[in-house]
Amino acid sequence: MIRVAVVDDHPLVREGTAALVDRQEDMEIAGVAGSLDELRPILEAGSTDVLLLDLRLGQESGFELLRSDVAMPAVVVVTSYDYPQYADAALRLGAAGFVVKTAPTAELLDAIRRAASGGLAFGVRPGGGVALSAREREVLQLVVDGASNDEIGSRLGISSRTVESHLRRLFERFGVASRTELAARALREGWLEDVG
């Protein structure tokens, strides 16, 4: 029997996934949780073989758990975000699988079985992440944090002109017209998720 735990902040998704898993002859539910705090006792019990982990848990991120030093079973990320950079980060942080919530149920069940047997199952192919230089990452992170060009220059020890130059190149590369659009896209697509 593969013992599966589900953590998702949407009750309908969480309970529906648990019901689907529980109907399988070779699987049973080890626990369900709506947050990382609710998940802790389930993990501490140590009877979970595969954890189905949502990335967006209200104000929390499933990446926080993947980055932590908590002993975990095999993790299959189950998310609404089909971004290759999220799959990259999940793979790098030790996840055994990555399945988009719009995938057929057979894909999720296959991912659980593969993860339980030590394999990998990625519905979204890692490797398509956004390539940013270290300096571009720093500038972009400060833009996301709401810093002005002068503040970014001061923090990084570069001129505001150099900051403008970095931003102009980022605007051109990603086809955006403003700092707000750049920041929104970076957050939405997880360009900075693997930082920290």
* CATH classification at residue 61: 3.40.50.2300
Grade residue 196 by pLDDT with cuts at 50, 70 and 90.
Answer: very low
**Whole-number Å distance between alpha carbons of 115 and 53:** 13
The pLDDT value given to residue 195:
39
Residue 36 has pLDDT above 50, yes or no: yes
The pLDDT value given to residue 127:
58
The pLDDT value given to residue 69:
85
Q: Is the dihedral of CA 193, 191, 58, 73 positive or negative?
A: negative
* Same domain, yes or no: 118 and 146: no
* Same domain, yes or no: 118 and 139: no
**Whole-number Å distance between alpha carbons of 23 and 16:** 11
Residue 5 has pLDDT above 60, yes or no: yes
What is the model's pTM? 0.68
Residue 89 has pLDDT above 90, yes or no: no
* Average pLDDT for 166-174: 87
Mean pLDDT of the chain: 89
For residue 144, count CB atoms less than 10 angstroms from its CB and return exposed for 0-12, middle for 13-18, buried for 19 or more. Answer: middle
* Average pLDDT for 19-45: 96
* Same domain, yes or no: 102 and 141: no
Residues 192 and 144 sit within 8 Å (Cβ to Cβ): yes
**Whole-number Å distance between alpha carbons of 124 and 168:** 30
* Same domain, yes or no: 115 and 50: yes
* Same domain, yes or no: 92 and 173: no
Q: Give the total number of structural domains in the chain.
A: 2
**Whole-number Å distance between alpha carbons of 107 and 117:** 15
The pLDDT value given to residue 194:
54
* Same domain, yes or no: 174 and 108: no
* Same domain, yes or no: 98 and 53: yes
Q: Are strands 2-7 and 56-57 parallel, antiparallel or unpaired?
A: unpaired
Q: What is the pLDDT of residues 7-21, one digit of tens each?
A: 999 999 999 999 999
Domain that holds residue 146: 134-189
* Same domain, yes or no: 26 and 118: yes
Residue 193 has pLDDT above 80, yes or no: no
Tokens 């189950």 correspond to 78
What's the N-to-C CA distance of the chain in angstroms? 36
